[in-house]
Amino acid sequence: MRRSLVVGNWKMNGTLASGKALVQEIVSGLDNTNADIAVCPPFIYLSEIDKLLQGSHLKFGAQNIADQESGAYTGEVSASMLKEINCTYALVGHSERRSYYGDTNETVAARFNQALSQDVCPILCVGETLEQREQDKTFQVIDEQLNAVIDLVGIESFAKAVIAYEPVWAIGTGKTASDEQAQEVHQYIRQQIAKRDQSIADNMQILYGGSVKPDNAKALFAMADIDGGLIGGASLDAESFLGIYNSI
Ligand code: PGA
């Protein structure tokens, strides 16, 4: 039986004070360990957030991770730096990184590889734009995004990773994929993994992201291949984030 996971992606929001208050509220409202749960604050707050989470069921992750080990890469944060501060997860290939900051399938694969090298669990974000969906290219896009990573790191590495399916047209738009639309792609992703390794596919956490809210989470999470969510806007409020967690 797969465990579910709910991850909050704060993006570039809030202040140190509001982030600490949010984490404290989540920790004090967390009354079960039925699923895994994590928040991804901005890099600069991670060490401070870590201090609040010692011994807590709530883990934390980074929103990105460098594609290189170390060296002259101005502005990047390496996997070993993240490991040093107990970082559990790192998002790789979020659609905002792909569309605004030039991440390609190849650099995303390199980031994934770096995360694994330090035992930071990569959360690989994949998903199609509205245009690609309308042109019936959803599965092709997913294939390209997945294959670039599998080709670099090998399928075995997916035993220590998470995938998040986030249709770009559903991110921050209030338009959620229907439960069936999401399930269809989740099932497809699991099949692609299963073709290479059935047991990794059976155990793989595949999250859905894109305008998940407390009132639509339960139906999404009830779908056979949806193992939780990657939550943007609704993760900035403790009550709605916990509401989503509790709908697992
Ligand atoms: P959203 O963002 O929940 O605000 O749509 C999801 C994400 O970008 O991970």
Tens of pLDDT, residue by residue over 195-240, are: 999 999 999 999 999 999 999 999 999 999 999 999 999 999 999 9
Catalytic residues, by residue number, are: 94, 166
Q: Which residue has the tokens 């294939």?
A: 143
How confident is the model over 98-126, as a mean pLDDT? 98
pLDDT-based confidence at residue 53 (cuts at 50, 70, 90): very high
Q: Which residue has the tokens 């993006």?
A: 11
Q: Is the pLDDT of residue 100 over 90?
A: yes
Nearest CA to ligand 1 atom 9: 232
pLDDT at residue 174, rounded to an integer: 85
Enumerate residues lining ligand 1, CB below 6 A. 9, 166, 171-172, 209-212, 230-234
Under CATH, to which class is 5-245 assigned? alpha beta
Cα maximum dimension of the chain:
48
Task: Report the alpha-carbon distance of residue 210 to residue 188 in Å, rounded.
Answer: 18
- 176 CA to centre of ligand 1 in angstroms: 10
91 Cα nearest atom in ligand 1: 9
* Percent of the chain topping pLDDT 70: 100
pLDDT in tens, 163-200: 999 999 999 888 888 999 999 999 999 999 999 999 99
